[in-house]
Homo-oligomer: A and B are copies of this chain.
């Protein structure tokens, strides 16, 4: 399997980069939810390429067509399916990759698993383009969550050597400005330094990685499960489905490994009529279940493996090293476009866990 996921809410992603279309099906969405298509398009536009100097100049319209599941703007309880047409023509550009796999790509592993029948064009089902359907699903979940008072926002925490300040894990108030700025960061000066970092990589025919940090605010305590379906497991299993993600951490994450318990434990406190913690090293999750504090996590993205500079690789048929020039126009840094993808993954996982919690209610 590669492309379905879920417990109470179920998503199924399909498509290859140069197939006629890519898309997604969401099953078991609550009925009667209004879906604002303009807001959904705006959300998808944040993932679209060609929005500035840090991204590829390729143009993708990425306007989804809702095939079903929506009637007069409201979810109808039936599976919601949406597709995006691929307008790039299928070229013969990619045939040589069968014999000369690109470093850092799935060309070789797909060749072995699918015995040469995999779709090479544009990366096939392995393409970062497949995050667009994930964003359709996530954008819909975000709207449902928002009506329940839950918001999900991410920012670029790092690109290459440049860092933004981290989220205040105790909460940030209204982060609605983030989706509106070209490089979503908390310190404006980080944006220009990051832009310089990306341009420097591009000028060197190279690419650069980064970290996206995400915060879910407004989620009540009690959502999630212990052990194998913990909130962390659900979020991480989606994030590690996003091409280029190689690390995920919640709250203090890897930094907690260097700490003592007395430092890392979050003391419970009362604030008004709410139970909160004085710090939030747990990232808002204890025992796999939300604590009522903001859920905070980070995803590390490797640098785009497709770079303009020539690289050595193996010609499989001869066993010789050869110079590979990866054609096409590629993002020198996919991190800015990955920001809504991370939000989408969080929204899907949180709504799934919340629905599961609701399935237990009403029996007392």
Contacts and interface: CB of A to CB of B under 8 A. Distances in A.
Contacts of A304: 261
Interface of A is mostly: mixed
Nearest to A148: B363
Interface string A1-32: 11111011011111110011111010110111
B228 A13 contact: yes
A283 B257 CA distance: 21
Contact of A31 (B79, B114, B241, B302): B114
B119 A78 contact: yes
19 contacts: A1-B225, A2-B229, A4-B27, A31-B114, A74-B117, A104-B261, A104-B266, A109-B287, A110-B289, A113-B289, A115-B364, A130-B227, A158-B258, A204-B262, A209-B261, A232-B240, A246-B253, A261-B305, A270-B314
Given A109-B287, A303-B260, A358-B359, A125 B78 contact: yes
Contacts of A283: 246
A68 B14 contact: yes
A56 interface: no
Nearest to A304: B261
B253 A16 contact: no
B68 A268 contact: no
B222 A112 contact: yes
Contacts of A252: 246, 302
A170 interface: no
A135 to B, nearest CB: 13
A228 B78 CA distance: 12
A220 B104 CA distance: 18
A207 B240 contact: no
A87 interface: no
A177 interface: no
A300 interface: yes
Given A32-B117, A103-B265, A260-B201, A288 B2 contact: yes
A63 interface: no
A270 B13 CA distance: 35
Given A230-B240, A232-B246, 5 more contacts: A22-B67, A31-B114, A76-B124, A208-B260, A247-B254
Interface string A58-77: 00000001111101001111
A335 B227 CA distance: 18
Given A10-B1, A77-B118, A115-B32, A277 B247 contact: no
A201 B71 CA distance: 35
Given A31-B115, A314-B270, A10 B4 contact: yes
B104 A68 contact: no
A222 B109 contact: yes
Nearest to A103: B265
Interface string A248-285: 11111110111111111111111000010100011101
